[in-house]
């Protein structure tokens, strides 16, 4: 067949132009989609960071309030400083607690300054203020510790016409440790800037702390002051690199919380997908399918970034895997931050830390294809006789979860890596949110909601368990006799004893006030009774002393075998606890139908 060059050229040039135009359109659309996804991820990071900081500031203000009450009750410098030393020793995020009184300055770790008012007036945490005022200082380098800090300062009523202030110095580097896990794209991060000065207070690079922020300009601060408290900084340049950030300046002690990343990451990610798209453009029929798959991944990814619980994460992840590559089932395992075990999100299987290290730790790298005849110990349990894909989910090179995909229909590395990126980002956010929600701020024990969730897991897995309710005897008398600060010390001491005397499979939670709850996985009551008796005796043997006061603490314990209803199980243990109180306190009572068994 003789084809004239003119006809060939007339066909080739329009075809080339069509392909290039389609490539430009796909690249631009992909760039906008990636940009919007990055902004949504940064927005989620800022929201989690604000909740985390607010939680810690509330905790700091509570400690400051306790010291205020102690001073107002007795005006005792020694009493306040002993309590302050206890707080600083227990909380790593506090550098120092100081008391300005009688014209002198008293600090923790024995620091003391006589007639210090003229020098104190020059300290970075000092400013003229009215009685009853609480303020947070700008970022400064602590002269006594050599670390970057901010201070919460409470101005109390003057004593003999001399100022009285309590200063709680917070280590911003320690406060930032958990926030460093929040990432936007691969290399973006969360940071915070002082609204009044524009200086950085939190940053992964400590050399940047205390310096002026490149992203938060004077114009932006002016817009924030005029009411534009949230938004996006579309573009700014730092170290010759163009970046973007999402910010939130709503009432958080005058801080602006930001999260962003370099625009080059979006461009590089877009170029990577565009290169794949270019190779697929050779096959015209595959173009539509490729665009559809990529769009679907981003739709699922955006849905995944919005989940707030493990159940929602598992549901959204299953929909994403089924929609993108197809499969028979998925199985998500997440690392329990308290025990180190890897627990199934479906509550059907748990891989202990010992089993994990012995069987899987050396095999985990990138994702692995597991043929039906060569399973690992997990795939042999969840999908016997079927091929699986094992995807490790990591955060800062630490394994936080495992995703198994049973009988995948597609095994394309590109799609699997995209799934992994979205899954591990969402899992990291959910784990951080759960850790904040599931921990009691005062005692460090698990929260009531974590306990209830664990009971539900045992019920779903048909695993035997016992529930014990522990209550401090005569706690109101202790509070009335020795004060609420001493009462708090009693609660913390009992919590420490419960934690110390329980193994890692036992869940110990603060249920509320002076009441605790214990979930014990066990087949029969004999071992449970021994453990609870040992705990009761250990608490009874403690002699608590604080600020020249002392007392012996006793507890009453009610225990009941768990059934198929969480609320009923707790109610039975509570009924046994009430019976222990009626029987004279300081004893363990076991719930039985139609009767109560006293064990001590």
Residue boundaries of the structural domains of the chain: 1-288, 306-438, 448-598
The distance from CA 207 to its chain's CA centroid, rounded to whole angstroms, is 25
Going from the C-alpha of 197 to that of each of 88, 218, 258, 560, the distances in angstroms are 28, 9, 16, 58
**C-alpha dihedral sign at 364, 365, 370, 373:** negative
- 106-115 contacts, C-beta under 8 A, 24 or more apart: 106/77, 106/81, 107/144, 108/81, 108/84, 109/85, 111/144
**CATH, range 1-288:** 3.30.450.20
- Angle at which helices 448-460 and 566-582 cross, to 10°: 120
The tokens for 248 are: 């939130």
The tokens for 578 are: 């009430």
pLDDT of res. 574: 93
Q: Decide the pairing of beta strands 555-561 and 465-472.
A: antiparallel
Quick one: which H or E segment has residue 495? helix 484-500
Residue-by-residue DSSP string for 274-322: HHHHHHHTTSHHHHHHHHHHHHHHHHHHHHHHT--SHHHHHHHHHHHHH
pLDDT of res. 232: 92
- pLDDT by 10-residue block (mean), the chain, 600 residues: 37 61 73 86 91 89 91 88 90 89 87 74 86 91 87 90 90 87 88 91 91 90 89 90 91 86 82 56 54 69 79 84 82 76 71 64 65 78 85 82 85 81 83 77 86 86 90 91 90 92 88 92 88 91 84 92 90 93 92 64
Determine contact, residues 353/339, Cβ cutoff 8 Å.
yes
- The three state secondary structure string of 518-567 is EEEECCCHHHHHHHHHHHHHHHHCCEEEECCEEEECCEEEEEEECCCCHH
Which residues have CB under 8 Å from 116's CB, separation 6+?
100, 103, 104, 105
Continuous H helices in 327-466: 353-359, 377-382, 413-437, 448-460
How much is the pTM? 0.45
Question: 301: buried, middle or exposed (CB in 10 Å: 19+, 13-18, 0-12)?
Answer: buried
Cα separation of 568 and 563, whole Å? 8
Q: Decide the pairing of beta strands 588-592 and 555-561.
A: parallel
Give the residues across from 558 on adjacent strands. 469, 589
Question: 105: buried, middle or exposed (CB in 10 Å: 19+, 13-18, 0-12)?
Answer: buried
The distance from CA 454 to its chain's CA centroid, rounded to whole angstroms, is 18
Identical fold for domains 1-288 and 448-598, yes or no, is no
The tokens for 560 are: 């009941």
pLDDT of res. 342: 79
Which CATH architecture fits 306-438? 2-Layer Sandwich (3.30)
Quick one: which H or E segment has residue 175? helix 172-176
Which CATH architecture fits 448-598? 2-Layer Sandwich (3.30)
């Amino acid at each position: 067949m003789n084809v004239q060059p003119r006809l060939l050229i007339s066909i080739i040039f329009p075809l080339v132009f069509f392909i290039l135009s389609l490539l430009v359109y796909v690249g631009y659309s992909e760039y906008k989609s990636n940009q919007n996804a990055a902004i949504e991820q940064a927005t989620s990071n800022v929201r989690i960071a604000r909740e985390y900081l607010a939680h810690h500031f509330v905790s700091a203000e509570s400690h400051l309030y306790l010291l205020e009450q102690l001073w107002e009750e007795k005006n005792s410098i020694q009493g306040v400083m002993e309590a302050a030393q206890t707080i600083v020793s227990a909380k790593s995020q506090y550098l120092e607690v100081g008391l300005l009184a009688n014209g002198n300055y008293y600090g923790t770790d024995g620091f003391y300054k006589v007639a210090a008012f003229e020098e104190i007036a020059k300290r970075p945490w000092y400013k003229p203020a009215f009685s009853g005022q609480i303020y947070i200082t700008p970022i400064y380098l602590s002269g006594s510790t050599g670390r970057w800090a901010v201070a919460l300062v409470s101005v109390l009523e003057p004593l003999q016409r001399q100022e009285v202030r309590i200063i709680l110095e917070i280590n911003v580097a320690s406060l930032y440790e958990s926030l460093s896990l929040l990432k936007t794209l691969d290399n973006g991060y969360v940071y915070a800037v002082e609204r009044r000065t524009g200086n950085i207070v939190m940053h992964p690079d400590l050399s940047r702390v205390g310096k002026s922020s490149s992203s938060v300009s004077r114009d932006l601060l002016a817009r924030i002051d005029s009411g534009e408290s949230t938004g996006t900084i579309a573009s700014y340049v730092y170290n010759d690199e163009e970046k973007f950030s999402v910010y939130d300046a709503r009432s958080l002690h005058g801080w602006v919380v930001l999260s962003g990343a370099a625009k080059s990451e979006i461009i590089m990610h877009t170029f990577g997908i565009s290169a794949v798209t270019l190779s697929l453009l050779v096959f015209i029929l595959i173009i539509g399918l490729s665009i559809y798959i990529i769009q679907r991944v981003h739709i699922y990814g955006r849905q995944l970034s919005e989940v707030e619980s493990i159940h929602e994460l598992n549901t959204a992840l299953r929909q994403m895997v089924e929609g993108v590559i197809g499969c028979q089932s998925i199985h998500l395992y997440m690392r329990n931050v308290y025990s180190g075990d890897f627990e199934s999100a479906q509550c059907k299987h748990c891989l202990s830390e010992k089993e994990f290290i012995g069987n899987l730790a050396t095999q985990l790298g990138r994702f692995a294809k597991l043929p039906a005849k060569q399973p690992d110990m997990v795939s042999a349990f969840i999908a016997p006789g079927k091929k699986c894909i094992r995807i490790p989910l990591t955060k800062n090179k630490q394994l936080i979860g495992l995703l198994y995909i049973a009988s995948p229909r597609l095994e394309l590395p590109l799609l699997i890596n995209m799934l992994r990126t979205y899954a591990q980002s969402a899992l990291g956010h959910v784990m951080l949110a759960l850790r904040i929600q599931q921990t009691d701020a005062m005692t460090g024990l698990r929260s009531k909601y974590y306990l209830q969730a664990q009971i539900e897991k045992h019920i779903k897995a048909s695993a035997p368990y016992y529930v014990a309710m522990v209550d401090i005897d005569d706690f109101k008398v202790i509070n009335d006799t020795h004060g609420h600060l001493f009462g708090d010390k009693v609660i913390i001491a009992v919590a420490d004893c419960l934690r110390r005397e329980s193994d890692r499979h036992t869940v110990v939670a603060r249920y509320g006030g002076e009441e605790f709850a214990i979930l014990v996985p066990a087949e029969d009551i004999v071992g449970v009774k021994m453990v609870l008796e040992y705990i009761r005796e250990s608490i009874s043997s403690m002699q608590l002393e604080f600020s020249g006061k002392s007392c012996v603490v006793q507890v009453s314990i009610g225990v009941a075998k768990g059934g198929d209803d969480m609320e009923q199980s707790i109610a039975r243990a509570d009924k046994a606890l009430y019976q222990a109180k009626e029987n004279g306190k300081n004893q363990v009572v076991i719930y039985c139908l139609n009767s109560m068994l006293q064990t001590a």
